[in-house]
Chains A and B, each alone.
Chain A
């Protein structure tokens, strides 16, 4: 049993240190001993110990005080107190300050063996837990929000600002702009990230079903309710509730929802038991809620409850410089999924993508790239691989004189390269001076 665990024995009596060392050495432990607090603290600076056996009565700093010093050095230290002078007071104090156990000498050998084994198991679980949490955090960092345009930089800043708080967030933006990704990014960077984010698509469900979906139901609450079912509000306990398309909720459900948001408690459909929940609310909508309030289809009090901190996700047409970055990201993504060696987008095709207005936003762009990846031939996507409506749009825009076409082409290339003059000149096959002349000639201006 050559285990890799380490054990630090802190006791002022030499005979105790020796006998414990011999006992645990036979189990394959790496043993360290210390005769007083100073020696123990030196040993703790040198390495981490899996289990610490600590005596209470020692000359100088006693075991109780040493425990606190040890916890300052290693807050996850697993300490077992072994004492010949047990008292309820010291036992309570020791356990209160995070000791694993408190035993009195002499100890049954079987009990001591099990105690140390259990302490080790707990230590390993705690270490594993920390590692898993770290890996979750790493995983969340690699989210799918793409874009380095000033508009998106602003969105990132807002996410960073609001995520650590518990504030209700309303995300507004056109369909397909990635509102759910923003909600997930907020949740992933919040204190609630180890609990679930539960999405309710309010626009997809009829009123009765949405109510049951949100609040859950008791057995027999309605025809077909054969079992008790937890609702999304209950499932989101501890985490985040994401209400997508919140502008589509009926007036009755709006009222119920408002009550829950204010009291954080509710009853299941057909039930009397009051259920208390704790969640953060993030909602999203592409509707003009102010107009809905004026029209009387959205409750003003609910609007103010939800509209605490707003993030507006800009449509893709307003941040065209993000298009090449996103398009390349989707190419990589689908090349991996499809196992197809397409690695780039031809400059002509990129030009088409940049010029297009993308009414369906990022979702439409992703679909266009996915389609192009299906029909395209390696190693790059050509303009012919893009959907017809994109090409039609290009044709419509490209009509007119040669000068108008040149202006449009230069502008598209500049926008597509985030107004990087050297790179744009390279793509256009002209030198930088010529490009500056053309910019001046056509009165092109870098967007603010």
Chain B
């Protein structure tokens, strides 16, 4: 069974950059990747007291818009700052072994940290986060391997340290998951 991955954008990331990210995901998951646009009601997820957007509410809206099948995965790219109630922020969130995930470019951009913009860096970071969150939807846990894309990152510098690829062990788990209809990893 071959997976079909949808990258749904509600962001300002350029089409050619999303195509680059799609190729990275194609290589990792050995599955075709489609880039499409999505319209989200961001206001519904906005928390004025935090000036941030609830990833949980956005994920619920994404799920209401997609037609979920066992061999399709959806990842949405947004520009807004995401949070979950207990944490100050998140780069992205995935439904573990589920169909949907979300990532934000907000804290991946150098501009957020008050340093000159670097578009190339932003695209690489976004590619890593897209692959990372998709990995969770396939059932992968965080990895201890220093350079593996599945390593947990809570700082943008940690994202820069890891590669866009998976380590051999995570790659074999993904291969197994794709072979068994994306159900197990």
Contacts and interface: CB of A to CB of B under 8 A. Distances in A.
Contacts of B90: 23, 109
A26 B136 contact: yes
Interface in A101-155: 105-110, 112-113
A110 B142 contact: no
Residue picked from A15, A20, A22, A27, most chain B C-beta under 10 Å:
A22
Contact of B86 (A19, A26, A28, A113): A19
Contact of B87 (A1, A2, A18, A109): A109
A82 B143 CA distance: 26
B154 interface: yes
A54 to B, nearest CB: 13
Interface in A2-60: 2, 13, 15-16, 18-20, 22-23, 25-28
B8 to A, nearest CB: 20
Chain A CB within 10 Å, residue with most, of B90, B142, B143:
B142
B56 A19 contact: yes
Contacts of B84: 19-20, 22-23
B89 to A, nearest CB: 7
A20 B86 contact: yes
Given A18-B56, A22-B96, A27-B152, A109 B88 contact: yes
Interface in B102-147: 136, 141-144
Contacts of A26: 94, 96, 136, 141-142, 152
B46 to A, nearest CB: 15
B141 A109 contact: no
Interface string B133-176: 00010000111100000001011000000000000000000000
Interface string B77-96: 00000011111111001111
A103 to B, nearest CB: 9
A106 B50 CA distance: 10
A16 B142 contact: no
A319 to B, nearest CB: 61
A16 B88 CA distance: 13
A207 to B, nearest CB: 62
Contacts of B94: 22, 26
A371 B155 CA distance: 71
B171 to A, nearest CB: 15
Contacts of B154: 108-110, 113
Contact of A108 (B50, B56, B87, B143): B87
Contacts of A16: 85-86
Interface in B43-92: 50, 56, 83-90
Nearest to B142: A1
Given A26-B136, A26-B152, A82 B142 contact: no
Contacts of B136: 26
Contacts of B87: 19, 23, 106-109, 112
A109 B89 contact: yes
A15 B96 contact: no
A106 B47 CA distance: 13
A25 B94 CA distance: 11
A22 B154 CA distance: 15
Contacts of B141: 1-2, 26-28
Given A23-B87, A25-B96, A106-B87, A15 B56 contact: yes
Interface in A245-263: none
A27 B94 CA distance: 13
Contacts of A2: 141
A15 B88 contact: no
Interface of A: 1-2, 13, 15-16, 18-20, 22-23, 25-28, 82, 105-110, 112-113
Q: Which 6 A-B pairs have the closest CB atoms?
A: A110-B154, A19-B84, A28-B141, A1-B142, A109-B154, A106-B88
Given A19-B87, A112-B87, 7 more contacts: A19-B56, A20-B86, A23-B86, A26-B152, A109-B88, A109-B89, A110-B154
Interface of B: 50, 56, 83-90, 93-96, 136, 141-144, 152, 154-155
22 contacts: A1-B141, A1-B152, A16-B85, A18-B56, A19-B56, A19-B85, A20-B86, A22-B94, A25-B96, A26-B96, A26-B136, A26-B141, A27-B141, A27-B142, A27-B152, A106-B83, A106-B88, A107-B88, A108-B87, A108-B154, A109-B90, A112-B86
